[in-house]
Chains A and B, each alone.
Chain A
Amino acid sequence: MNERTRGGTEPPDDYLEAAIQRLLTEHTAIAEQGLTVTRRDHSLVVCGEVESAQRREEILRLVLERFPHLPVTVDIGLIRTQAPSEVEELR
């Protein structure tokens, strides 16, 4: 699941954008500073990458819980953890 949209139809305002950004950082269960919140048409889009699927689900749940009437799209991926296929030579 990379994208889910839920919520009402009222367009978000600047203060809501800031409130979501602070929720993502300051809520103990999220603590993510690397996610971006942007407005797209009449919804807010939360983008970025996190370390586990559990964290992505928790972000979606808490944003919808705190802002039940807000149209929100969550587009968050998992950061890959494969071994590198290349090295950088520094001479």
Chain B
Amino acid sequence: MVIRIAAVGDVHMDRDVLGRFRPALEELPDRADVLLLAGDLTRHGTESEARCVATEFGNLGVPVVAVLGNHDYHCDEVPRVIRVLEDAGIVVLEGTNLVVERDGTRLGIAGAKGFGGGFAGRCASEFGEPEMKAFIRTTQAIADQLGEALREMDCDVRVALTHYAPVPDTLAGEPLEIYPFLGSYLLGQAIDSAPTELALHGHAHAGSERGTTPGGVRVRNVAHPVIKQAYSVFHLHAPQAGRSGKVSAITRSGSS
């Protein structure tokens, strides 16, 4: 059983980008069973930019599932952005989940924007000024929702979708000083609280593609400036009872 997952994040749509992704997206039904969008779909989070996302990523012939990113929050139009996306058939996850069935295999996707705070040993704490406590409480609340959304799914394969990074591995290339603004170990802990097969995120434009959580979950940074193509495709093989160990390999498109 193989589920084919296409993913990209940080597409920052506006009118000037309309049509750039579409030729590659038209090929999606032949290449993937689902498209996941890892946040920062827009530049400023306006309703008009969301319409550009809907035009570019709607009606693709495969389910499209998204989380929002920090850019999508900038203009405080989140409910309107979500409505425009959902009117175009794009499912937006915010601490929630969705199970998609393909050829008898149930793919469970749990998604949340995530937030910052840093990584174990070098992270912010819920202590001191109200603003500092609010910062970490925000991350903790989102991570708690993500963990619950992952654990409660009845499915064969679990995928976590966030905008912020759950591990520092995929931030390699970014300045160390800004790691706390790029992700949080609390997201990784949530992902490790369920038998997750793959975690996808964006946000870190200068980061790198591959990493692993402390619990062994494969993590991929699919930010558009990182993958440098319209989307990446992952062939996720459903886990088989009695088999241990994980292998990843790159193959030419069209083969498996």
Q: Does A19 have its Cβ within 8 Å of any Cβ on chain B?
A: no
CB pairs A–B below 8 angstroms (15 shown): A31-B12, A82-B24, A84-B31, A84-B230, A84-B233, A85-B253, A86-B251, A86-B253, A87-B235, A87-B250, A87-B256, A89-B251, A90-B197, A90-B218, A90-B235
- The CA of A28 and the CA of B49, in the complex, are separated in Å by 13
Interface of B is mostly: mixed
Interface contact A82-B229, CB-CB below 8 Å: yes
Point out residues on B near A: beta carbons under 8 Å: 4, 10-13, 16-17, 20-21, 23-24, 27, 31, 43-44, 71, 74, 197-198, 205-206, 218, 220, 224-225, 227-237, 246-253, 256
Q: A51-B16, A91-B248 are in contact. Are A81 and B218 (CB under 8 A)?
A: no
Q: A31-B74, A48-B225 are in contact. Are A90 and B236 (CB under 8 A)?
A: yes
Interface residues on A, range: 20 to 34
Interface contact B252-A90, CB-CB below 8 Å: no
Q: Which of A27-53 contact B (CB under 8 A)?
A: 28, 31, 33-34, 36, 48-49, 51-52
- The CA of A84 and the CA of B28, in the complex, are separated in Å by 10
Choice from B24, B43, B234 contacting A87 with Cβ under 8 Å: B234
- The CA of A42 and the CA of B165, in the complex, are separated in Å by 35
Interface contact A48-B43, CB-CB below 8 Å: no
- The CA of A53 and the CA of B34, in the complex, are separated in Å by 30
- The CA of A34 and the CA of B10, in the complex, are separated in Å by 10
Q: Which of A46-91 contact B (CB under 8 A)?
A: 48-49, 51-52, 54-55, 79-91
- The CA of A52 and the CA of B18, in the complex, are separated in Å by 10
Distance in Å: Cβ of B182 to nearest Cβ of chain A: 10
Interface contact B228-A80, CB-CB below 8 Å: yes
- The CA of A54 and the CA of B18, in the complex, are separated in Å by 12
Distance in Å: Cβ of B31 to nearest Cβ of chain A: 7
Nearest CB in chain A to that of B5: its residue: A90
Interface contact A51-B20, CB-CB below 8 Å: yes
Choice from B12, B197, B256 contacting A89 with Cβ under 8 Å: B256
Q: A36-B206, A89-B256 are in contact. Are A81 and B249 (CB under 8 A)?
A: no
- The CA of A34 and the CA of B173, in the complex, are separated in Å by 12
Contacts of A87 in B (CB 8 A): 4, 31, 233-235, 250-253, 256
Interface contact A52-B17, CB-CB below 8 Å: yes
